[in-house]
Amino acid sequence: MNPEQDAIPHGDPIALFDSWFAEARAAEPNDANAMALATATADGRPSVRMVLLKGHGPDGFVFYTNARSRKGGEIAANPHAALLFHWKSLRRQVRIEGPLTEVTPAEADAYFHSRPRVSQLGSAASDQSRPLDARQTYLDRVDALAARYEGEEIPRPPHWTGFRLAPEAIEFWLDRPNRLHERRRFTRERERWSSTLLYP
């Protein structure tokens, strides 16, 4: 077999993510910022769900949620998580692992009020992850809040917030013919990144 040049080079994994993410936003038909978020309870029982990336940079990867939800409770009990991006159109994956910290109230306010008004109402009306007797109950709560705050700014509920995952490890996966895939894992110690190729 002919040798191949590595398509996932050693370097700055944040810059590489930026490049791959830009390509995904141009290629993916829906929600290139969708990512699987895996959390776990204090005793290690995992759960996973899809959320949306709402900010990223060298300091971390940001998403927003209801802190009283199941994932919020797990984050409070065990503030470490893993993210997975799967860009099927590009045949690429990125896995990211690290600790979570809550964003500032100012950051949460700014993002909450940047959302469409109906999304703000939906978040404020939702007891996320709690039992619901009927969907109409939720819709009625949305309508009631819409009437209450007609013509006014909707206040961000204090339990609706964001979290930033500070990456300690980032792994890039690239599809190759005949399942001879390419993987490179970056790990960070303090401010320095090292990397190694992995067998697929």
Name the residues annotated as catalytic. Answer: 179
Count H helices, E strands: the chain? 5, 10
Cα torsion for 120, 122, 125, 128, to the nearest 10°? -110
Spatial separation of the C-alpha atoms in residues 63 and 51, rounded to whole Å: 7
Task: Write out the E strands in 3-125.
Answer: 34-40, 46-52, 55-57, 60-66, 80-87, 92-102
**Closest alpha carbon to 121 in 100, 151, 146:** 146
